[in-house]
């Protein structure tokens, strides 16, 4: 086979040499339908790029390669048929039918607009053998040029009387209509006057000497082998990947706004240094997969060069949209949740309105820097991030990331199925800013600024809609070292405290700095020291003591001991009826207790915490003992003092009885609360076993009696959903009241339980309506305070109702 370079119109010229004569094109029945008008995202992106490229070449727009647009090879044989006493030399393409169909539509559109459509021209003898409807539609186009005033081609065509209703079900016709609209849209981008510009375009399409759109035609001599050759040719390679489509579109788009040297830099590096960068991640992914297979465990997410490119570019384009404060630009229809393709978003971010668009120019600089910084300095991201960050841990060295799976944020970006979290995006953006030539901070300054940023974002609720506000603050912090609490976008109280911490470190010793960093790195604090006095004289000692007692295995004892120094509960709503104390198991509740609020509001927890730490330190210094023993002794001593004067308030019960403390929930309690009147009352002091009101509840004091009194053999666990069911003892129900306990039995209760209740009312002090009363006394003008331990009273009461006849200490 010998190839011939030609154009679409040139196919129909008088042949030279051994090239066969062609007077028409017929797509053979072995070919598939015309598919470039499909609606899926990948085909849409390819179609728009292809149509734009062809139209720009035809109309002479900027950015077209000097040698014109080449469309590779078109294979096919020429079959001679006799019709109406004439010989027709029909090209039957085996490969290239999609391109030939698009070229037919382009020439029909331009010729129509230019007013030169000749129905007898051989190039219009274009037909489909696949379906009669497609063949008739192509013939109808020959007869009906598109008027200049028609507007969108598909709307005009489908409104014509010659357009047959059954045609709407032909996928080839549907695709041809979509492609015509894409050609029309591309023409409108560059054509000021349709007819005049179309005339120029038609002249360019007719130019054989300097072809603007060309391909190589390879005639197949042996048509008997056509179908075999077709099958081989259509399985010879893979389809273009999404990245290859994106890359071609981006390279094309950047032609109009980059200098030639910059444009060549992009093209060269997409296939060179930038690919090498992500190839390292693909190699690492393959090794990890092989190791996982050998170990018989689930392999990590697979990383490919193309996938890594798309994920990293997706991150960069989203950053550009935030920099432009155009968060809605990613949506083509937000209400319908239709996003623009990444190609479209990249054009808007990096090209914008052209060379005069300063925002787009700034985005291009950032985009190129985000790739080149890892290549020009010869530093792979993995090595760079290993020097900057580490996962967890405390102490000197790389900054601990408290919520990330790995220190390499680029690696997370290109490999994670869920992508970067918003805090990780801000940290990666910060690192990219810090690597800008001429703006690099010193190593120590960078460490401080990244630490401050981590402190502000890792435990915060970062909102995507506010990312445009965060980015300028990140740049000011990382590049200029400035954090103005009044002119920044993060929590103002937290930012102000970070400035205070800077001042403390600058005026203190390395010991104080290390103590500050140790506290900031603690998982219960995560960067915010609002619950600690910023006192250089005491901070190192208190930080060391905090590290001893704030550990998971001591969390329950730590919470009990802290409550002995004061009511540190946090108001979380419902007119202070819902409050939070530290959970015995969930660290997150402690992080909320210790870090949410302002320095002023944190007085409620800072005072008790500092006193507790000083007490623990003093007891540890006094003699050989352990942190566990010290915390236990603090609670026991405090409870003994309360017992010595018969003072049993809600804090006593929570310190004395582990069963009254929150474990599986977030530490939320619900009940009547009045800080001026001693805090919580006794009735309805409920533990919420979760983070919201759809979780289960328990009465804290009943649960203490059930748990610590070992009542599981005689009573149901006092836990309910929505409706308070108290604690069931046979057919009776016990509930906590402000002055004691109510005991209720249904009307149809059996004689045995009725007798037990009657016996209780004879033995215990009861009210007129039958409540079992606990001894109380008033403390000033406040609410009455228990003067006997109601949990022990409840234990005796339940066992008495169960018929176990305890030795009553409380009688009428």
Residues 182-211: tens digit of each pLDDT? 999 999 888 755 566 899 999 999 999 999
pLDDT at 81 over 90: no
Mean pLDDT of the chain: 89
Given pLDDT bands bounded at 50, 70 and 90, which one contains residue 256?
confident
Q: Which residues fall within 8 angstroms of residue 669, CB to CB, at 6 or more apart?
A: 569, 578, 579, 580, 581, 662, 680, 685, 686, 687, 688, 700
- Percentage above 90 pLDDT, the chain: 64
Final residue in a domain of this structure, among 595, 611, 645: 645
Q: Assess if residue 311 is contained within a domain.
A: yes
- Both 220 and 344 in a single domain? no
Q: Assess if residue 367 is contained within a domain.
A: yes
The answer to whether the CB of 81 falls within 8 A of the CB of 87 is yes
Q: What is the spatial distance between Cα 797 and Cα 743, in angstroms, rounded to a whole number?
A: 10
How much is the pTM?
Answer: 0.72
pLDDT at 231 over 70: no
- Percentage above 70 pLDDT, the chain: 93
What is the predicted pLDDT for the residue at 557? 97
Closest CA to 20 of 70, 71, 79, 73: 79
Given pLDDT bands bounded at 50, 70 and 90, which one contains residue 238?
very low
What is the predicted pLDDT for the residue at 190? 81
Mean of the pLDDT values across residues 263-289?
91
Lowest mean pLDDT among 380-394, 415-429, 680-694, 736-750: 680-694
- Both 792 and 773 in a single domain? yes
Token pair of 531 as six digits = 């619950």
What is the predicted pLDDT for the residue at 240? 56
Mean of the pLDDT values across residues 746-766?
91
Q: Hey, which residues does 742 pair with through a beta bridge?
A: 735
Go through 451-467 and write b for each residue having 16 or more CB atoms within 10 A of its CB, e for each that does not: bbbbbbbbbbebeeeeb
Given pLDDT bands bounded at 50, 70 and 90, which one contains residue 334?
confident
Helices assigned H by DSSP within 534-626: 539-549, 555-563, 587-595, 603-622
What is the predicted pLDDT for the residue at 402? 85
- Both 432 and 300 in a single domain? yes
The answer to whether the CB of 282 falls within 8 A of the CB of 411 is no
629 Cα distance to chain centroid: 44
Q: Which residues fall within 8 angstroms of residue 323, CB to CB, at 6 or more apart?
A: 359, 362, 363, 366, 468, 471
- Both 223 and 332 in a single domain? no
Question: Which one has a higher pLDDT value, 92 or 427?
Answer: 427
Lowest mean pLDDT among 361-365, 714-718, 782-786: 782-786
- Both 192 and 113 in a single domain? yes
pLDDT at 16 over 60: yes
Summarize pLDDT for 145-162 with one digit per residue, the tens.
Answer: 999 888 899 999 999 999
CA distances 525 to 298, 303, 312, 547, 590, Å, are 33, 35, 31, 11, 8
Question: Which one has a higher pLDDT value, 223 or 58?
Answer: 58
How many other C-beta atoms lie within 10 A of the C-beta of residue 13? Answer: 15
Mean of the pLDDT values across residues 756-760?
91
Q: Hey, which residues does 614 pair with through a beta bridge?
A: none
Q: What is the spatial distance between Cα 760 and Cα 673, in angstroms, rounded to a whole number?
A: 31
- Both 532 and 673 in a single domain? no
Final residue in a domain of this structure, among 431, 463, 487: 487
Q: What is the spatial distance between Cα 561 and Cα 655, in angstroms, rounded to a whole number?
A: 7
What is the predicted pLDDT for the residue at 656? 98
Q: Assess if residue 244 is contained within a domain.
A: no
CA distances 168 to 28, 120, 159, 171, 799, Å, are 21, 27, 12, 8, 82
- Both 164 and 230 in a single domain? yes
Mean of the pLDDT values across residues 415-432?
93
Beta-strand (E) ranges in 745-806?
A: 772-773, 776-778, 784-786
pLDDT at 106 over 90: yes
Given pLDDT bands bounded at 50, 70 and 90, which one contains residue 740?
very high
pLDDT at 807 over 60: no
- Both 755 and 806 in a single domain? yes
Given pLDDT bands bounded at 50, 70 and 90, which one contains residue 130?
confident
Q: What is the spatial distance between Cα 485 and Cα 499, in angstroms, rounded to a whole number?
A: 8
Q: Assess if residue 252 is contained within a domain.
A: no
pLDDT at 777 over 50: yes
- Both 739 and 777 in a single domain? yes
Q: Assess if residue 245 is contained within a domain.
A: no
Highest mean pLDDT among 344-348, 554-558, 766-770: 554-558
Given pLDDT bands bounded at 50, 70 and 90, which one contains residue 221?
low
Q: What is the spatial distance between Cα 801 and Cα 126, in angstroms, rounded to a whole number?
A: 97
Q: What is the spatial distance between Cα 556 and Cα 138, in angstroms, rounded to a whole number?
A: 80
Question: Which one has a higher pLDDT value, 254 or 701?
Answer: 701
Domain of 685?
650-812
Q: What is the spatial distance between Cα 286 and Cα 292, in angstroms, rounded to a whole number?
A: 10
What is the predicted pLDDT for the residue at 500? 95
Q: Assess if residue 253 is contained within a domain.
A: no
Residue 17's SS3 state is coil
The two counts, helices (H) then strands (E), for the chain are 29, 24
What is the predicted pLDDT for the residue at 381? 96
Q: Of how many residues is the chain composed? A: 812
Summarize pLDDT for 356-367 with one digit per residue, the tens.
Answer: 899 999 999 999
- Both 190 and 127 in a single domain? yes
Q: Assess if residue 243 is contained within a domain.
A: no
Residue 622 CB-density burial (10 A; 0-12 exposed, 13-18 middle, 19+ buried): exposed
What is the predicted pLDDT for the residue at 291? 93
Given pLDDT bands bounded at 50, 70 and 90, which one contains residue 446?
very high
For the chain, how many structural domains are there in total? 4
The answer to whether the CB of 609 falls within 8 A of the CB of 527 is no
What is the predicted pLDDT for the residue at 282? 93
Closest CA to 105 of 62, 157, 68, 149: 157
pLDDT at 649 over 80: yes
Q: Assess if residue 64 is contained within a domain.
A: yes
- Both 810 and 726 in a single domain? yes
- Residue 39 is classified by DSSP as -
What is the predicted pLDDT for the residue at 232? 40
Angle at 428 between CA 427 and CA 430, to 5 degrees: 65
pLDDT at 223 over 60: no
| DSSP secondary structure, 326-343, as one string | -GGGGEEETTTTEEPPHH
CA distances 709 to 400, 658, 759, Å, are 44, 11, 21
pLDDT at 1 over 50: no
Residue 29 CB-density burial (10 A; 0-12 exposed, 13-18 middle, 19+ buried): exposed
pLDDT at 236 over 50: no
Helices assigned H by DSSP within 678-789: 700-708, 751-763
Mean of the pLDDT values across residues 690-695?
71
Highest mean pLDDT among 220-224, 400-404, 569-573, 603-607: 603-607
Final residue in a domain of this structure, among 593, 623, 645: 645
What is the predicted pLDDT for the residue at 588? 92
What is the predicted pLDDT for the residue at 425? 97
Token pair of 572 as six digits = 């979380």
Q: What is the spatial distance between Cα 78 and Cα 197, in angstroms, rounded to a whole number?
A: 35
- Both 469 and 496 in a single domain? no
């Amino acid at each position: 086979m010998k190839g011939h370079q030609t154009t679409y119109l040139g196919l129909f010229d008088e042949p030279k040499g051994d090239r066969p004569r062609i007077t028409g094109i017929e797509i053979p029945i072995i070919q598939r339908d015309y598919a470039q008008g499909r609606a899926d995202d990948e085909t849409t992106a390819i179609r728009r790029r292809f149509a734009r490229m062809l139209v720009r070449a035809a109309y002479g727009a900027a950015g077209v390669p000097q040698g014109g647009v080449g469309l590779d090879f078109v294979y096919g044989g020429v079959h001679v048929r006799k019709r109406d006493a004439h010989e027709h030399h029909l090209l039957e393409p085996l490969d290239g039918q999609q391109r030939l169909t698009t070229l037919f539509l382009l020439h029909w559109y331009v010729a129509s607009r230019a007013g030169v459509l000749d129905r007898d021209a051989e190039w219009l003898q274009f037909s489909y053998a696949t379906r009669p409807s497609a063949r008739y539609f192509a013939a109808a186009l020959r007869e009906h040029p598109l008027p200049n005033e028609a507007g969108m081609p598909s709307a005009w065509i489908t409104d014509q009387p010659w357009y047959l209703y059954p045609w709407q079900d032909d996928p080839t016709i549907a695709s041809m209509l979509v492609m015509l609209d894409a050609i029309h849209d591309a023409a409108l981008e560059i054509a000021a006057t349709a007819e005049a510009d179309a005339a120029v375009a038609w002249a360019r399409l007719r130019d054989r000497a300097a072809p603007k759109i060309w391909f190589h035609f390879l005639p197949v001599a042996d048509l008997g082998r056509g179908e075999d050759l077709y099958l081989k040719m259509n399985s010879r390679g893979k389809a273009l990947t999404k990245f290859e489509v994106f890359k071609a579109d981006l390279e094309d788009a950047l032609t109009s706004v980059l200098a030639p040297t910059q444009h060549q830099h992009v093209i060269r590096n997409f296939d060179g240094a930038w690919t090498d960068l992500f190839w390292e991640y693909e190699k690492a992914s393959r090794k990890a997969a092989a190791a996982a297979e050998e170990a018989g465990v689930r392999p990590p997410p697979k990383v490919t060069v193309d996938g890594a490119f798309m994920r990293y570019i997706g991150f960069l384009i989203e950053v550009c949209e935030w920099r432009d404060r155009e968060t809605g630009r990613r949506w083509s229809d937000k209400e319908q949740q239709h996003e623009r393709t990444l190609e479209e978003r990249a054009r808007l971010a990096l090209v914008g309105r052209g060379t005069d668009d300063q925002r787009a120019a700034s985005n291009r600089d950032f985009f190129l820097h985000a790739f080149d910084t890892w290549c020009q300095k010869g530093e792979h991201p993995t090595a760079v991030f290993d020097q900057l960050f580490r996962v967890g841990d405390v102490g000197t060295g790389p900054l601990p990331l408290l919520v990330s799976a790995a220190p390499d944020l680029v690696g997370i970006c290109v490999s994670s199925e869920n992508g970067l979290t918003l805090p990780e995006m801000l940290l990666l953006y910060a690192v990219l800013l810090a690597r800008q030539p001429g703006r690099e901070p010193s190593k120590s300054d960078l460490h401080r600024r990244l630490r401050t940023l981590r402190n502000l974002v890792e435990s915060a609720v970062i909102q995507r809609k506010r990312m445009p506000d965060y980015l300028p603050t990140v740049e000011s912090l990382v590049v200029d070292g400035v954090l103005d609490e009044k002119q920044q976008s993060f929590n103002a109280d937290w930012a102000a405290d970070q400035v205070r911490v800077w001042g403390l470190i600058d005026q203190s010793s390395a010991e104080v700095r290390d103590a500050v960093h140790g506290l900031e790195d603690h998982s219960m604090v995560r960067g915010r020291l609002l619950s600690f006095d910023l006192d250089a004289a005491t901070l190192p000692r208190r930080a060391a003591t905090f590290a001893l007692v704030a550990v998971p295995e001591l969390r329950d004892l730590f919470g009990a001991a802290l409550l002995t120094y004061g009511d540190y509960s946090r108001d979380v709503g419902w007119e202070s009826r819902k409050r939070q104390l530290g959970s015995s198991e969930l660290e997150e509740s402690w992080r909320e207790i210790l870090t949410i609020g302002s320095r002023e509001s944190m007085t409620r927890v800072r005072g008790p915490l500092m006193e507790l730490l000083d007490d623990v330190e003093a007891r540890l210094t006094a003699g050989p003992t352990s942190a566990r023993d010290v915390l236990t002794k603090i609670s026991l001593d405090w409870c003994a003092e309360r017992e010595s004067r018969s003072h049993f308030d809600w804090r006593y019960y929570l310190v004395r009885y582990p069963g009254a403390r929150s474990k599986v929930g977030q530490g939320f309690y619900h009940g009547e609360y009045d800080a001026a009147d001693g805090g919580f009352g006794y009735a309805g002091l409920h533990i919420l076993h979760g983070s919201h009101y759809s979780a289960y509840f328990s009465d804290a004091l009943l649960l203490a009696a059930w748990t610590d009194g070992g009542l599981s053999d005689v009573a149901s666990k006092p836990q309910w959903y929505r409706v308070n069911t108290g604690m069931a003892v046979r057919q009776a129900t016990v509930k906590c009241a402000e002055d004691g306990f109510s005991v209720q039995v249904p009307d149809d209760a059996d004689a045995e339980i009725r007798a037990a209740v009657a016996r209780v009312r004879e033995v215990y002090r009861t009210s007129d309506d039958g409540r079992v009363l606990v001894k109380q006394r008033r403390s000033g003008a406040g609410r009455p305070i228990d003067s006997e331990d109601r949990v022990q009273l409840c234990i005796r009461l339940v066992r008495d109702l169960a018929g176990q006849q305890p030795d009553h200490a409380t009688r009428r």
